[in-house]
Amino acid sequence: MNNHENINISQEDLTKCTIILDKIRNYYSTKIVGQKNLQESLLIALIANGHILLESVPGLAKTTAAKTLTEAVNGKFSRIQCTPDLLPSDIIGTQIFNYANNKFETKIGPIYANFVLLDEINRSSAKTQSATLEAMQERQITIDGKRYKLPNIFTVIATQNPIDQEGTYTLAEAQLDRFLIKEKVEYPTVLEEVEILNRLEKNVFNNKEAILSLLDLEYLQNIAKKVYIDESIKKYIGQIILATRKPENYIDKNLAEYINLGASTRGTIAFMECSKVVALMNGRTHVIPEDIKQLRYSILRHRISLNFSAIADNITIEQIIDSIFGAVPTP
């Protein structure tokens, strides 16, 4: 595979990418204690210019992590706290009548930013959730029939609390699919809790600094697109996605019966786009099968729908994904 590495990526490009990535990671590490999975997933979403869904209980630094990466690249950050009475116009914007000049003026909503944090997205109504779809998918918003293009770098970072289901609106499959990746954020360890307290005492978290620019992020995005992915890897991705749709042909019949719905073609595309980013983050100009395996949970956990029997029998989505990857031969 190495013989076919993409000649468009020079050693100079690769070195520059490594320097940029190291700067972002180092800055992140000064602000966020632990949470390496969250760091990597946010970076993948940013470089692939896709959207990310974060699932965890409140208070695990999701907002801080999103703001930290925004600060690092000097981007525009918006935070929207989702509530049941939040209207689509509160997110997208609306027409406001100006009495001074007797004219309607367009007021663009907080969705117009480089990084938008939709906190507890499952607390907003279905109508408000669907209003974000156009922005996420088409990268534009429509106010009073007029379209407004969103910034070139536009990432929605949505969070949801898996525990409290009262007063929440479950995201539809079509909307979940719009998220490039889904990451679960776990509690910190005892030592990490102590480190958080130490840094709070030293006032580390209040130091804000733009170490890079949006142009640096665009550079990473452009180089990532040039990363080489072999036909055999593409077929491997295709086989994995097919196995989620026809699990009875690949995995144990008892496990296959837990799957209600397999992954869509967006899952196929997500594997390709994200694996290129992972390869670049690991200093390579080509994708290897291990990149696909590393992404398996992030890309598939919100794209495979399990039935009620799975919940009753304590079958996790990760178990199903592992079975599928175990059944599909690695190229």
Rounded distance between C-alpha atoms, residue 315 and residue 172, angstroms: 21
Predicted confidence band of residue 1 (pLDDT cuts 50, 70, 90): very low
**Helix, strand, coil % in the chain, rounded to nearest 5:** 50, 15, 35
pLDDT for position 19: 93
Is pLDDT above 70 for 85? yes
Which element (helix H / strand E) includes 232? Answer: helix 231-245
| CATH among 3.30.470.20, 1.10.8.80, 3.40.50.970, 1.10.533.10 for 228-331 | 1.10.8.80
* Closest C-alpha to 16, from 209, 228, 224, 229: 224
pLDDT for position 272: 96
Q: What CATH number does the domain located at 34-226 have?
A: 3.40.50.300
pLDDT for position 70: 83
Sequence-distant (6+) residues with CB within 8 A of 260 are 305, 306, 307
Query: What mean pLDDT comes out for the span 37-65?
Result: 84
Predicted confidence band of residue 173 (pLDDT cuts 50, 70, 90): confident
Is pLDDT above 60 for 8? yes
Apex CA 41: angle with CA 36 and CA 116, to 5°?
A: 115
pLDDT for position 2: 46
pLDDT for position 36: 78
pLDDT for position 163: 63
In this structure, are residues 318 and 301 in contact, taking their beta carbons and an 8 Å threshold? yes
pLDDT for position 248: 92
* Closest C-alpha to 323, from 244, 237, 232, 242: 244
Within 10 angstroms of residue 102's Cβ, the number of other Cβ atoms is: 7
pLDDT for position 288: 95
Rounded distance between C-alpha atoms, residue 12 and residue 283, angstroms: 12
What's the mean pLDDT when you consider all of the chain?
86
pLDDT for position 75: 87
Exposed, middle or buried by CB within 10 Å (0-12, 13-18, 19+), for 184? middle
Q: Which two tokens stand for residue 303?
A: 């794209």
Write the single-letter amino acid at 134.
E
pLDDT for position 167: 54
Pick 132 or 34 by higher pLDDT: 132
Pick 144 or 307 by higher pLDDT: 307
Predicted confidence band of residue 66 (pLDDT cuts 50, 70, 90): confident
- Percent of the chain at pLDDT exceeding 90: 41
pLDDT tens-place string over residues 262-295 = 999 999 999 999 999 999 999 999 999 999 999 9
DSSP letter string, 176-215: HTTSSEEEE-PPPPHHHHHHHHHHHHTTGGG-----S-HH
Is pLDDT above 70 for 201? yes
Query: Where in the sequence of the chain do the CATH 1.10.8.80 domains occur?
Result: 228-331
User: Which stretch of 71-85, 86-100, 187-201, 268-282 has the lowest confidence by average pLDDT?
Assistant: 187-201
pLDDT for position 168: 62
Query: Where in the sequence of the chain do the CATH 3.40.50.300 domains occur?
Result: 34-226
